[in-house]
Chain A
Amino acid sequence: MYKFLKSRMPFIPAAFLAFIWYISLIIIVLYFSFEPVAEFAYLEI
């Protein structure tokens, strides 16, 4: 994402937006990591 943003805008806004993007994803992962784990057949293949 940072590379994508960097190709379209100057360093500071690109770095800022990328930071927001990654932090949001980390928060999403941490928040939803307590959900029940769904089945995944490939682990027993």
Chain B
Amino acid sequence: MHFLSIDWFSWMVLTIAFFWLTPDRWRHHILTLITMTFLAIYAPLSLVILVLLSLTTYLIVSTHIKELSGIKTCVAIVANIAVLGYYKIQVGSHADTEDSLTSIVIPLGLAFYTLRLVHYILEAYKGTLPRHQLSDFIHYLFFFPTIVVGPIHRFAEFKRDLRRHHWDFGMIAQGCERILYGYVKLTFLANYLISGVFAQYITTCGEATDPLVIYLEMIRAGLNLYMQFSGFSDIAIGFARILGFKVMENFNWPYFQKNISDFWRCWHISLTSWCREYIFTTVLSTLRSPAVAAITTMIVIGVWHEFSLRFVVWGLYHGMGIAVWQNFQKHKRYLPTLPQRIKPIIDALSILLTLHFVWFGFAIVMYPTLGEGFTAIKTVILFWM
């Protein structure tokens, strides 16, 4: 279901009404029940998977809430990743071919709630989970605002809001404002300006194989993805805020960052911080190589999006970009110091370079096959030939 549908809006309004009209002690149970009903109607398979994974994870973790053994941690993580991996491999096996008639669809929200479950297991392993009951854990996983496309919020913060939340007019006003901005991004900026007016303009620039058209199409894809995803995140964050929960931010002006490392700190923050915490840090502490840690992390992020060669290459591309940036930082002191007055020009050029690095990355994954992506990049880079 799209957030722009009247159905989703009705679900949102009714959820808010039911939530605040219900007595305090039943409020969260009602919210979980609404999520379950929503999933039962629109994605029954997702509901079954989420219930099974939640119970399995809780059974493994709850008996050792203060000190989860390494083997049990691995079993719990593998059980969760296996389900996601199964669907990713099924979908991904069709992605590198031109066969678009695949009927396999990833269950709604699976990629997002799997990461929440793994986060919960790893925090249990580290012994940092706050004291809680099964109901808190279920409320966390079945939190309606974030069930469809995140953000991948964390258990400790959720548990804190679960205990403290109350009717706060300021929070509700902020939530409504945020939802409104989200809808403006989706309807006006993404759908009308970027996918309507700009896409129409691109078609007047020449044939689909012209370098200029491919270049503009790359920009359009990048802008569309950002506006859509940040719009969806705004709606989810606003919705959560109306219910009294502060869910973590997902974007912080990523297209205005001066290097690729900062870009990834500001793009899909809930995912990148998750990966930084559990993958980057682990690889770094094991291998003592920031470059390998960055490349591994970015490949995992790529595979999380889609289990296919083009997303592995995309992850490698970004990982290598970050590794190059890290090395540049080390050797920067040998460069001559530039005058302060040209700093704005250097900053603008850095932003432009980062933007183009990201947009060329989109070209790797925006075509059905990896070959087509490389051909598009080659056409743009060698535009005079």
Contact = CB atoms under 8 A, between A and B. Distances in A.
Contacts of A20: none
A37 B177 contact: no
Given A33-B4, A37-B4, A42-B149, A28 B106 contact: no
Interface stretch (B32-40, B51-59, B180-188, B352-360): B180-188
- Tell me whether chain B's interface is mostly helix, strand or loop, or mixed: helix
A9 B215 CA distance: 45
Contact of B191 (A26, A35, A41, A44): A35
Interface string A6-22: 00000000000000001
B187 A35 contact: yes
A13 B194 CA distance: 34
B90 interface: no
B130 interface: no
Interface residues of B, number: 29
B4 A25 contact: no
B187 A28 contact: yes
A29 B149 contact: no
A39 B187 CA distance: 12
A21 to B, nearest CB: 10
B50 interface: no
B187 A32 contact: yes
Determine which residue in A2, A33, A36, A44 has the highest number of CB atoms from chain B within 10 A of its CB, and name it: A33
B62 interface: no
Interface of B: 2, 4, 105-106, 111-112, 148-149, 173, 177, 180-181, 183-184, 187-188, 190-192, 194-196, 224-225, 228-229, 232, 305-306
11 contacts: A1-B177, A22-B177, A25-B180, A28-B184, A32-B187, A33-B4, A37-B191, A38-B195, A40-B225, A42-B228, A45-B111
Given A25-B181, A29-B180, A43-B149, 20 more contacts: A1-B177, A2-B177, A25-B184, A28-B188, A29-B187, A29-B188, A32-B187, A32-B188, A32-B192, A33-B187, A35-B191, A35-B192, A36-B196, A37-B2, A38-B190, A38-B191, A38-B228, A39-B224, A40-B225, A40-B232
- Report the 5 A-B pairs with minimum CB-CB distance, sorted nearest first: A38-B195, A32-B187, A40-B228, A35-B191, A29-B183
